[in-house]
Amino acid sequence: MSESTRVTFGTKLGILAATAGSAVGLGNVWRFPSETANGGGAIFVFIYLACVIFFGIPLVLAEFIIGRAGKANPAGAYRNLAPGKPFYFFGIFAVAAVMLISSFYMVVAGWTFDYFALALTGKLSNLTEPSAFKQIFADLANDTWRQTFWMAVSVISTAVIVGFGVKKGIESASKLMMPLLFLILLVMCVRAVTLPNAFEGLAFLFRPDLSHVTPQVFVSALGQAFFSLSLGMGCLITYASYFGPDVRLGKTAGQLAVVDTLVAVLAGMTIFSTAFSVAGTGSAEISEALSHGGPGLIFETLPQLFQALPLGQLWAALFFFLLILATITSAISLYEIGTAFLHEEFHCSRITSVILISAFTLVTGFLAAASLGGDSPLVFFGKTLFDWLDTITATWMMPIGGLFVSWFVGWYLDKKLVRSQLSNNDTTAIRFFRTYLFLLRYVAPIGIIIIFLVSLLK
Ligand code: PFF
């Protein structure tokens, strides 16, 4: 597609909503709060912010530069910027990683739809024993067809949005869904922090506790920044390929980081205030669930906590609706990468491309869901296929993708091009250009290699 005919996002708000839609997802709700509680409260938040500033934002900017200058899907963008060079395979790697991540992400998106339906129909209400909530989730995990049904609902919702195209589909949907998500989160957060004893939860979450600070905490903060900002998978490359020439990349990267962090902090405040208000400080089981995070926290502990509140059914339904918004806006960005790739590299129509991506994720998602059932054969070296897909993508492929990005923009790309992208052809002043290059060339790759090695040794 030629540069002049390439579609662009229509508005600045649309750009922020779409990029923040990709970033805000499960990472903000089930990882950040638990990492903060485990990592020394306010100290973790501080380390996380440092990681976002010194390491996340430079890589976000690098992906933006590749996307806007390359004007194509990740593979095409690398090829356009380095014709005849093997960098094309960096893009293929990103697309492959995205297909794998989608395979388990869509299963979880399906769970959120399932739980929303359970909450609406009152099936999460009137249960007294914690074991009843565990059983509900176990029933879902053991029922491959039920998971597949709800996954199909999320696949179709995502595919329809992506099928409508960049402006009418992705931008319009994000502009509607992200403000709604933010509003629901604010309402839930205000409700949670005004509950009796909510302060105990906030104190637990934010009290600086130096005794928790270990090298592992730095690694977790870096990994979290990476996952949460959707880095290393070509998501931001693809979205930036739809940025117009007047979009200020630095400002957009900053806004994206602020929104993503704010949502994570608000989600943490909501979850911890509710937990400490309902269960008190002494509940070992709840503390354990809070520090583990993940599906146990979201699908077993939280429904139990909401149920104990007045209007519990409403809070549970609102929470799972919020999660649907968060997962679908991230899923859209995952699907758009594969769609743009098939459309531009193999000349499939956009609709055919979306259908192929959806069919692929339905099959691989089905296998991932089936691996969770009791005696599934899809368990390898003690890990289910579902967990393998998560580990391979989040622990291995995302950091490697990030290394590729910092290598390409930090070392290979002509610095004049980098500068002109950041300054919109010298129409805006850029400060810190040298600092930026230093972060991208040295700090980011060294940080990534450390996360990678430590997570391999874990
Ligand atoms: N950033 C998303 C989250 O925090 O849940 C996850 C994600 C989406 C990662 C898209 C990577 C990606 F390409």
Q: Ligand 1 pocket: which residues have CB below 6 Å? A: 22-23, 25-28, 98, 101, 227-228, 230, 233, 235, 330, 333-334
- Tell me which residue has its CA closest to atom 10 in ligand 1: 230
What pLDDT, on the 0 to 100 scale, is given for residue 4?
Answer: 54
64: in domain:
yes
196: in domain:
yes
197: in domain:
yes
3: in domain:
no
10-47 pLDDT, tens digit per residue, is 999 999 999 999 999 988 988 888 888 888 888 999 99
d(CA 116, CA 389): 25
**Ligand 1 pocket, mutate which of 228, 298, 328, 392 (most atoms under 8 A from CB):** 228
Q: How far lies 57's CA from each of 52, 230, 241, 280, in Å?
A: 6, 11, 18, 38
Q: Do the Cβ atoms of 263 and 25 come closer than 8 Å?
A: no
- Ligand 1 atom with least separation from CA of 97: 13
- Beta strand spans in 56-207 (E): none
Q: Do the Cβ atoms of 233 and 97 come closer than 8 Å?
A: yes
d(CA 93, CA 95): 5
**Ligand 1 pocket, mutate which of 174, 178, 330 (most atoms under 8 A from CB):** 330
Buried b / exposed e over 40-53, threshold 16 CB at 10 Å, is bbebbbebbeebbe
Instruction: Name the residue among 197, 395, 178 with its Cα closest to residue 282.
Output: 197
Phi, psi angle pair for 384, to nearest 5°: -75, 160
What pLDDT, on the 0 to 100 scale, is given for residue 384?
Answer: 92
**Ligand 1 pocket, mutate which of 112, 230, 239, 389 (most atoms under 8 A from CB):** 230
CA 330 to ligand 1 center in whole angstroms: 6
Task: Tell how far CA 97 is from the center of its chain.
Answer: 14
- Does the reported pTM lie above 0.85? yes
Written as one letter, the residue type at 51 is C
In the chain, the largest separation of any two C-alpha atoms, in whole Å, equals 64
Task: Tell how far CA 139 is from the center of its chain.
Answer: 26
d(CA 260, CA 378): 34
Tally Cβ neighbours within 10 Å of residue 122: 11
CA 232 to ligand 1 center in whole angstroms: 10
How many domains does the chain divide into? 1
- Find the domain containing 42 and state its range: 12-457
Q: How far lies 271's CA from each of 61, 77, 260, 266, in Å?
A: 31, 40, 17, 9
**Which CATH number characterizes residue 298's domain?**
1.10.4160
Q: Do the Cβ atoms of 130 and 304 come closer than 8 Å?
A: yes
**Ligand 1 pocket, mutate which of 95, 101, 154, 327 (most atoms under 8 A from CB):** 101
312: in domain:
yes
- Dump the DSSP string for 395-450: IIIHHHHHHHHHHIIIIIS-HHHHHHHHTTTTTS----HHHHHHIIIIIHHHHHHH
What pLDDT, on the 0 to 100 scale, is given for residue 377?
Answer: 87
186: in domain:
yes
- Tell me which residue has its CA closest to atom 9 in ligand 1: 230
Q: How far lies 100's CA from each of 364, 388, 396, in Å?
A: 8, 10, 12
CA 177 to ligand 1 center in whole angstroms: 16
What pLDDT, on the 0 to 100 scale, is given for residue 81?
Answer: 98
Q: Which residues pair with 379 in a beta bridge?
A: 384
Which portions of the chain are predicted below pLDDT 70?
Answer: 1-4, 281-282, 458
- Which two three-digit tokens encode residue 167? 């402006």
Phi, psi angle pair for 5, to nearest 5°: -95, -5
5: in domain:
no
4: in domain:
no
Q: Do the Cβ atoms of 305 and 34 come closer than 8 Å?
A: no
